[in-house]
């Protein structure tokens, strides 16, 4: 957790307070036009899945989802069946969740603990490094070079509380990819948190969905009964780290800082940080020791996504009051996303198909959206005109 007067948070609170007092927000130099076809074109979507989600390092899981040696998580990401494993040395690894004999799925989706990976079809078994170590009926099966039958490994790195994987096996340098964003994410110390809840939410297309995670312009209107009650609408302090961004929002109490001597400030009580990892990660916290991690995975069409929403607590809730408070936070963020953000997003999706708009317009106050779409264009090898 942050110390009371973390200089970094003090500086952010100061910038946010200045906006609050002056009724301003960080702004891009201009508004930006985005062709609606970028949201709906099917051929483009297939290319985006390959060039962005296929070959860039994606945060597929939190480190704390594999807490011990022998912990594993099986999951489908886009069309790729992943098996994430923490081996006996504590190293996080990622394999295709596919047996090398005749292709059976090795582990069902979910998290568990194991010492070996045994195929449910004919009982070939693999160790936690993915090496084939035993075959049922090996004599009758016949000779094979066992070393050539290791599970297919994907490039996998563990940094800043997440496992990063490239789905199409493109090698990557995670430190280069994250740059200083790793330090920012690292300050959250996500490896020390506790998973309170995790669920999957169907949502609208990935750009429509991500757009909603990148601005506070909608908070007062759409989230008036939930997170909007805590956030100052339309106030954002933005910092960028290559394609990654950190958004600082003001909490409703932000204005109190104007009346307090600086040495008494507790900045963490008055701002809220969103760490947005390109292309699909949002880490939002920390409200009273709670944090929301959202991973937005594109679905089979340009109009669909699956969000893995994980609610973290700084420590496991134990007393009735702590459990009630964790449940309240969990229920509130579920409501804000499932009943507020995503229904609006599904409406946007229908609106896209109606062809009412040829372009969307990102305001100067929606600068994180502008950056995001510029980076999408960058990885697609395109330029965006203003």
Q: Among Fe ion, ligand FES, none, what does residue 185 contact (CB within 5–8 Å per kind)?
A: none
Q: Among Fe ion, ligand FES, none, what does residue 124 contact (CB within 5–8 Å per kind)?
A: ligand FES
Smallest gap from Cβ 189 to ligand FES, in A, equals: 39
99 binds ligand FES (CB under 6 A): yes
345: region left, alpha or beta (phi > 0 left; psi from -120 to 50 alpha): alpha
Reduced to 3 states, what is the DSSP secondary structure of residue 246?
strand
- Distance CA(383)–CA(386), nearest Å, equals 10
Residue with tokens 């609106």: 351
- Written as six digits, the tokens of 130 are 């993915």
- Written as six digits, the tokens of 365 are 């106050």
Closer to ligand FES by CB, 145 or 386: give it. 145
Residue with tokens 């090898």: 381
Reduced to 3 states, what is the DSSP secondary structure of residue 159?
strand
Map residues 121-150 to x or -, x wherever contact with ligand FES holds by CB under 6 A. Answer: xx-x--------------------------
Of 208, 372, 193, the residue nearest 277 (C-alpha): 372
Closer to Fe ion by CB, 166 or 349: give it. 349
Smallest gap from Cβ 146 to ligand FES, in A, equals: 13
Q: Among ligand FES, Fe ion, none, what does residue 341 contact (CB within 5–8 Å per kind)?
A: Fe ion
Smallest gap from Cβ 142 to ligand FES, in A, equals: 14
Smallest gap from Cβ 86 to ligand FES, in A, equals: 22
Closer to ligand FES by CB, 64 or 104: give it. 104
Query: Quick one: how far is CA 111 from the chain centroid?
Result: 18
385 contacts: CB under 8 Å, gap ≥ 6: 33
14 contacts: CB under 8 Å, gap ≥ 6: none
Question: What residue ranges bind Fe ion (CB under 5 A)?
Answer: 212, 341
Map residues 101-120 to x or -, x wherever contact with ligand FES holds by CB under 6 A. Answer: xxxx--------------x-
47 binds ligand FES (CB under 6 A): no
Closer to Fe ion by CB, 167 or 227: give it. 227
Closer to ligand FES by CB, 29 or 137: give it. 137
Q: Among Fe ion, ligand FES, none, what does residue 141 contact (CB within 5–8 Å per kind)?
A: none
Q: What is the dihedral of CA 336, 340, 345, 347, to 10 degrees?
A: 170
Query: Quick one: how far is CA 181 from the chain centroid?
Result: 14
Smallest gap from Cβ 98 to ligand FES, in A, equals: 9
Smallest gap from Cβ 169 to ligand FES, in A, equals: 21
- Distance CA(229)–CA(10), nearest Å, equals 23
Query: Quick one: how far is CA 59 from the chain centroid?
Result: 7
Smallest gap from Cβ 94 to ligand FES, in A, equals: 19
- Distance CA(147)–CA(39), nearest Å, equals 45
Can you give the binding site for ligand FES, defined by CB under 6 A?
Answer: 99, 101-104, 119, 121-122, 124
């Amino acid at each position: 957790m942050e110390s009371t007067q973390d200089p970094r948070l003090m500086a952010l609170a100061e910038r946010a307070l200045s906006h609050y007092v002056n009724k301003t927000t960080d702004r891009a130099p201009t508004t930006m036009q985005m062709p609606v076809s970028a949201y709906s074109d099917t051929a483009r979507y297939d290319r985006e899945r390959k060039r962005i989600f296929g070959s860039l390092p994606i945060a597929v899981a939190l480190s704390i989802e594999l807490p011990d040696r022998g912990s594993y998580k099986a999951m489908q990401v886009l069309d790729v069946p992943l098996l994430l494993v923490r081996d006996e040395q504590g190293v996080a690894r990622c394999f295709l969740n596919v047996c090398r004999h005749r292709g059976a799925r090795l582990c069902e989706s979910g998290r568990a603990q194991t010492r070996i990976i045994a195929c449910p079809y004919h009982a070939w078994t693999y160790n936690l490094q993915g090496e084939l170590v035993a075959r049922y009926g090996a004599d009758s099966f016949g000779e094979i070079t066992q070393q050539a039958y290791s599970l297919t490994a994907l490039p996998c790195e563990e940094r800043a509380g997440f496992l990063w994987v490239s789905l199409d096996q493109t090698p990557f340098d995670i430190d280069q990819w994250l740059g200083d964003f790793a330090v920012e994410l690292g300050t959250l110390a996500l490896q020390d948190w506790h998973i309170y809840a995790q669920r999957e939410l169907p949502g609208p297309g990935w750009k429509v969905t991500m757009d909603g995670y990148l601005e506070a312009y909608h908070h007062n209107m759409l989230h008036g009964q939930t997170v909007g009650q805590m956030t100052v609408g339309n106030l954002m302090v933005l910092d960028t780290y290559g394609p990654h961004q950190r958004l600082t929002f003001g909490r409703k109490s932000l204005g109190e800082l104007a009346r307090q001597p600086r040495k008494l400030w507790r900045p963490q009580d008055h701002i809220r940080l969103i760490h947005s990892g390109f292309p699909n990660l949002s880490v939002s916290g920390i409200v009273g020791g709670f944090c929301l991690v959202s991973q937005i995975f594109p679905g089979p069409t340009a109009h669909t996504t699956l969000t893995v929403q994980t609610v973290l607590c700084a420590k496991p809730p134990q007393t009735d009051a702590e459990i009630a408070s964790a449940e309240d936070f969990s229920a509130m963020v579920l409501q804000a996303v499932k009943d507020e953000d995503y229904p609006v997003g599904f409406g946007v999706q229908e609106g896209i198909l109606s062809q009412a708009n040829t372009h969307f317009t990102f305001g100067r106050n929606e600068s994180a959206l502008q950056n995001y779409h510029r980076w999408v264009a960058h990885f697609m090898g395109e330029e965006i005109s203003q």
